[in-house]
Structure 1
């Protein structure tokens, strides 16, 4: 059994005995074989807080706050090829915040940004260029007024 599963089962057991009115750590220990110190800690927590939930606000505060997080998102949206070192420099200049590249990387992963390399675009070969010139010469005298060029976006054609 993993540590989190055993902790959950301890919480459930202690809560069960608490709800049926048993407040003695020794009695609960004999019935469940959960360590006495664990039961004592949980009973003390139940008396003080009324639950076994962790108190919010424990732990170290995050170095990158909401304002700097928005700034990071803007930097990336403006230039999605920006490096972590450039992001660290921009945060230092605009937010007066000195952070390492690993902190920025962790923060971006937490925000579900993915780190990937841009796709390589194949260069045109001499054969490709030759075919393009041939096509252009073949269609040189076409009536281009009746031709619609599009970038595969949706469009609506209105005919007068």
Structure 2
């Protein structure tokens, strides 16, 4: 295999070759292999230059056609991950791409993986009502809001929507309907008033304590019955012994 030669050494080889030196002599003087000298001379003779020509390299799998198809698939549904998109692309056009290539191609076209914005799932009527409410209260002062009582509530998640959900979007598309994660008040989560929870805990403790006290009373009665029965049995035995002695 020919050695990698610098541009200066290739120029020196060509200079010695023009002076009539043999390839063996050139290799000995320039401290390189005869194969490297032969390759350098052949390259100089055909294109007339000593620099290495740029190779073609591996054929690109993510062609413009494949990339356009990938972008269309991603825009239809913004949520699939790179491995899922690669699998769908293979099923649709038969081109197999690595997930990293899919991610890079989409990123080059402005589709970056970002966390989905969480927005409540609302109907058109609810959106209009919320907008009107915001307009009615936009000029409220801090004193006005201090008169509002906010209940102490805790949220308990009953469905697995608490993790990070990613979508592919371009800059400025974060609040587009297809790029957000709709949230539902019920049954995704339950809001519980903390005061009611505390009162229920107190009531439950009272009920549990009553059960414990009742068990203790019942156990005492059982123990007392056993003691009384033992006394009765002992009296019978004593009376029997007395009668036996008289006889």
Structure with bigger RCO (C-alpha 8 Å, 6+ apart) = 2
- TM-score, normalising length: structure 2: 0.36
Rg larger in structure: 2
Give the strand-richer structure, 1 or 2.
Answer: 2
